[in-house]
Amino acid sequence: MEWHGNRNVWLILWFVCAKVLIFCFLSTAFANQESPKLPWSFLEEHRTQVLQLASDDEALAFFKATTTAGERGSRIHMKSQPLPTQLNLPAEIKEAIIIYLKSLATTIHTQTIREILIKPTTGIPPLSEIIPGDAHLQWITKHSPPQALKPVIIGYKQVSAWSHTMTSHPPPPSEKFAKFSSYYDQKYPDWDNSPQSWTSTFTQHGQKGIEERLLEYWQTPNHIADQQQLAQPIHDAYTQHYIETRLFPMFRMTLLTKTSELEAIAHRTAWEAWQKIQQWQKLEQANVDSTRLCGTWRWIVHNHQNHGDRKMTVTFSPPDQSSPSQIAPTTIEIHGDTVYLKWTFPQGVQEDSLLLSNNDTHLEGTFKNSLGPHGSISGKRLSACQP
């Protein structure tokens, strides 16, 4: 058949499609990122440790240990405290960290498998040479999105084991082999999801199931005579040649496609988990910053337009509580000791640029009102934040 006569061409096209699929997945994942290096810089720095993780507790403790106060960018910004197993994190953030690290490990493994399968060599190294440690592998595939790694691992074990049993055989007689191959080409589909397809049979029954099916030809009434005429070595040559030229390349390419798809999914899952962690971190940092401002202050506001001073008491509530009866800022941003406040009133807005000093007991700076007034602000803390 023409399809099977050009099988190698179709396999190449299939591989190209798989690469396009990866690009599409990763383009979506990276589309809105300010820095495509993150979070992969974390993986570059801690690759060895990530590949040694074998439990959720280990993952959380490791992530905590690799995050230090003041560091930003490739690492989450959290206070560094010696809490190896009991982290002061919400349950959903713990889950995000675990998924993040599992996805990074899955990315490493799928990249390794993909690079091996792409190589033109027949022999494929055993799994133990590329993923040492059963506990690590069991942890990755348990109760998390990277569960799709499990069928890839099973498929890799099957393909690897079979690759080491194949030996080169001289091509069988072309006329007889053409009948042999035509029988199987017409009867069984290649790689669809039907139970009778070659890929389904290989997935469910492995090498043994394939070899048993390849005996079927000689047991049909039309080919019993051929079986009696040809010696057993010829039968074996038919089987091996069909496997080496038709089936094994297809199984290898099918596994490559699944691996490439999983690699793309792992990239996307890692990004989503990382973004969730970062969003939580930003919220936590905002709460920490707001706590520095929380409390009651005595402000002296000097208006440069009329050169008048106005004394007032300003209260900032804790970040998790509602504001008092007075108008609260619509925006509070604190970067280091610099404070930016934006107040929204019916008649306009006011922006304050201030600086915390003396252990957060003084607040000095300027204000600017959209209606024209501008001047200085001098604040002194009267009381600390009341939880």
Q: In tens digits, what is the pLDDT along the chain, a chain of 387 residues?
A: 444 444 544 554 455 455 545 444 444 443 344 444 566 788 888 899 999 999 999 999 998 888 743 344 333 433 333 333 345 789 999 999 999 999 999 999 999 999 999 987 778 999 988 887 889 999 998 876 666 888 899 999 999 998 888 776 677 767 778 888 888 888 888 767 788 889 888 988 888 899 899 888 887 776 655 555 566 677 778 888 888 888 999 999 999 999 999 999 998 999 999 999 989 988 888 788 888 888 899 999 999 988 889 999 998 888 777 665 677 888 888 888 999 999 998 889 999 999 999 999 999 999 999 988 999 999 999 998 876
Intra-chain end-to-end CA distance of the chain, in Å: 79
In the chain, what's the furthest Cα-to-Cα distance? 115
Taking Cα atoms as reference points, which of 286, 315, 288 lies closest to residue 299?
A: 315
Pair 18, 70 in one domain = yes
Same domain, 56 and 155: yes
Of 286, 321, 348, which residue is a domain's last?
A: 286
User: The domain spanning residue 358 has which CATH number?
Assistant: 2.40.128
Q: Say if residue 282 is in the same domain as residue 169.
A: yes
Same domain? For 237 and 298 the reply is no
Helix runs in 131-247, H state only: 134-140, 149-163, 174-187, 198-213, 216-219, 224-229, 232-242
- Its domain, for residue 348, covers 294-383
Q: 124 and 197, same structural domain?
A: yes
Q: Is 170 within 8 Å of 237 (Cβ atoms)?
A: yes
Query: Both 305 and 281 in a single domain?
Result: no
How many domains are contained in the chain? 2
Contacts 24+ apart (CB under 8 A), 123-132: 123/163, 123/164, 124/156, 124/159, 124/160, 124/163, 124/164, 125/160, 126/157, 126/160, 126/161, 127/153, 127/156, 127/157, 127/160
Using an 8 Å Cβ cutoff, are 267 and 43 in contact?
no
